[in-house]
């Protein structure tokens, strides 16, 4: 399945049905009169977040969504049928923006969350609605009210607990494939990851977290260099950032500072998120190199650095336990604050 995290679509709710002008004409009814019914209401347009989707690829091929018009009224004071709503299903984490791509209309961040974006038009009144003591034979009936229409942008921000960031070839895809059932592309050249990947890490029956691997960042990514920072939006909702650094590449401090600078330039609160730093590819370093680079990185970052090898799984179980404890603590705090 192809991954798509942005799409522009057109939505339109249904027009209301028309009211009618009608009169009773039964042969044995002594007093006739107006009996034109009202029109039915047009269909609404809803967006609903569902848990079994993780891409907006369907909206590349279907970009126009229109609800039906309400039924017209009829004689014998019959009201037209209301049109059925159109329910557009999107992945959890989808944000809906106005056509200017800046005004946020809705954020569907929970499964089952639903919003009505376009309300169907009300039905027009039939002439029976205008009957009064001074107007016994009204011949007025109204057209239905028009529905609403708009172009909107859909932007998907994946729901994950941990965001995996780092330079290209830091071993992020290898790490994801080792700790989860995800099978990202792995190769010995940069930018093998071209779109975000999700993996579920299960430590026990009751403990699991979702990790999101995004394409690697390079210096100048916030200006569009490489793949840019487009995919950083997918880690905005994460509780923790896991910063993976290639320990065999040389200047690990400069690498760490480059990624931190790109996170700061991007904004979105990423630079202030809790960060776990892991020095990867320990199997490709001598013990002396690993120790020296770890100390230098700890001095520059002011935080402890975990030494791992994703290929051999050295240090990986301990790192996963650290991540799980921190994710659990942060999510519990968020629930307490929400209540």
Asked if pLDDT for residue 317 goes beyond 70, the answer is: yes
pLDDT, tens digit (0-9, with 9 covering 90-100), for 6-21 = 899 999 999 999 999 9
Q: Which of 100, 149, 92 is nearest to 120 (CA)?
A: 149
Domains of the chain with bracketed CATH? 6-156 (2.70.210.12), 162-338 (3.40.50.300)
169 labelled ligand-binding: yes
- Is 206 labelled as part of a ligand binding site? no
| Coil/strand/helix, residue 209 | strand
Residue whose token pair is 């650290």: 322
Q: Which of 191-205, 212-226, 260-274 has the highest mean pLDDT?
A: 260-274
Q: Is 88 annotated as a binding residue?
A: no
pLDDT digits (tens, 9 = 90+) for 113-141: 999 999 999 999 999 999 988 888 899 99
Q: Is 299 annotated as a binding residue?
A: no
287 among annotated binding-site residues? no
> What is the Cα–Cα distance from 134 to 100, expressed in whole angstroms?
51
215 is annotated as contributing to ligand binding: yes
Cβ of 106: how many Cβ atoms within 10 Å? 18
Asked whether residue 309 is marked as a ligand-binding residue, the answer is yes
Among 327, 276, 284, 326, smallest CA distance to 305 is for: 276
pLDDT value at residue 184:
59
pLDDT above 60 for 89: yes
**Residues 148, 125: contact at Cβ < 8 Å?**
no
Dihedral sign, Cα of residue 188, residue 190, residue 193, residue 198 = positive
226 is in an annotated binding site: no
Question: What predicted TM-score, i.e. pTM, was given to this entire model?
Answer: 0.76
239 is in an annotated binding site: no
Q: Determine if residue 44 is labeled as part of a ligand binding site.
A: no
For position 145, what pLDDT does the model report? 95
Q: For residue 184, give both structure tokens.
A: 């990202």
Residue 183 contacts by C-beta under 8 Å, 6 or more apart in sequence? 177
| 322 annotated among ligand-binding-site residues | no
pLDDT at site 1: 47
Q: 7 a known binding residue?
A: no
45, 106 Cβ separation under 8 angstroms: no
What is the overall mean pLDDT for the chain?
Answer: 85
Q: Per the annotation, does 49 bind a ligand? A: no
CA distances from 249 to 144, 234, 276 (A): 68, 27, 19
Tens-place pLDDT, residues 34-69: 999 999 999 999 999 998 887 888 898 899 999 999
Q: Is 85 annotated as a binding residue?
A: no
Distance set, CA 101 to CA 123, 142, 222, 336 (Å): 33, 37, 18, 33
Q: Is 311 a known ligand-binding residue?
A: yes
Q: Is 57 annotated as a binding residue?
A: no
Residue 18, annotated as binding a ligand: no
Residue 195 marked in a binding site: yes
- How confident is the model over 147-160, as a mean pLDDT? 90
Distances from the Cα of 238 to the Cα of 29, 97, 175, 322, angstroms: 72, 21, 18, 15
| Count of Cβ atoms closer than 10 Å to residue 124 Cβ | 24
How confident is the model over 213-256, as pLDDT tens digits?
877 666 665 565 555 566 777 778 888 888 988 888 778 888 88
């Amino acid at each position: 399945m192809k991954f798509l995290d942005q799409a522009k679509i057109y939505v339109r709710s249904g027009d209301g049905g028309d009211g009618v002008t009608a009169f009773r004409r039964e042969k044995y009814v002594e007093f006739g009169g107006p009996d034109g019914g009202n029109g039915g209401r047009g269909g609404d347009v809803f967006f609903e977040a569902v848990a079994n989707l993780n891409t907006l690829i369907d909206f590349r091929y279907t970009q126009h969504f229109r609800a039906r018009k309400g039924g017209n009224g009829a004689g014998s004071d019959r009201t037209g049928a209301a049109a059925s709503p159109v329910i557009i299903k999107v992945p959890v984490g989808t944000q809906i923006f106005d056509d200017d791509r800046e005004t946020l209309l809705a954020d569907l961040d929970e499964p089952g969350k639903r919003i009505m974006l376009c309300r169907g038009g009300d039905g027009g009144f039939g002439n029976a609605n205008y009957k009064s003591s001074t107007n016994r034979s009204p011949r007025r009936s109204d057209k239905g009210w028009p529905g609403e229409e708009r172009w909107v942008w859909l932007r998907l921000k994946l729901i994950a607990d941990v965001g995996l960031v780092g330079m290209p070839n830091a071993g992020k895809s290898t790490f994801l494939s080792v700790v989860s059932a995800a099978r990202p592309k792995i190769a010995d050249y940069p930018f093998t990851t071209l779109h975000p990947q999700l993996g579920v890490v299960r430590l026990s029956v009751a403990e699991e977290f979702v990790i999101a691997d995004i394409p690697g960042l390079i210096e100048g990514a916030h200006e569009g260099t490489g793949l840019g920072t487009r995919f950083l939006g997918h880690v905005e909702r994460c509780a923790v950032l896991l910063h993976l650094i290639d320990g065999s590449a040389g200047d690990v401090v400069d690498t760490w500072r480059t990624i931190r600078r790109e996170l700061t330039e991007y904004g979105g609160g990423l630079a202030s998120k809790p960060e776990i730093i892991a020095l990867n590819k320990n199997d490709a370093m001598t013990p002396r190199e690993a120790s020296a680079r770890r100390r230098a990185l700890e001095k520059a970052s002011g935080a402890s650095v975990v030494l791992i090898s994703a290929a051999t799984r050295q240090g990986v179980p301990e790192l996963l336990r650290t991540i799980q404890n921190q994710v659990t603590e942060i999510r519990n705090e968020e629930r307490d604050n929400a209540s």
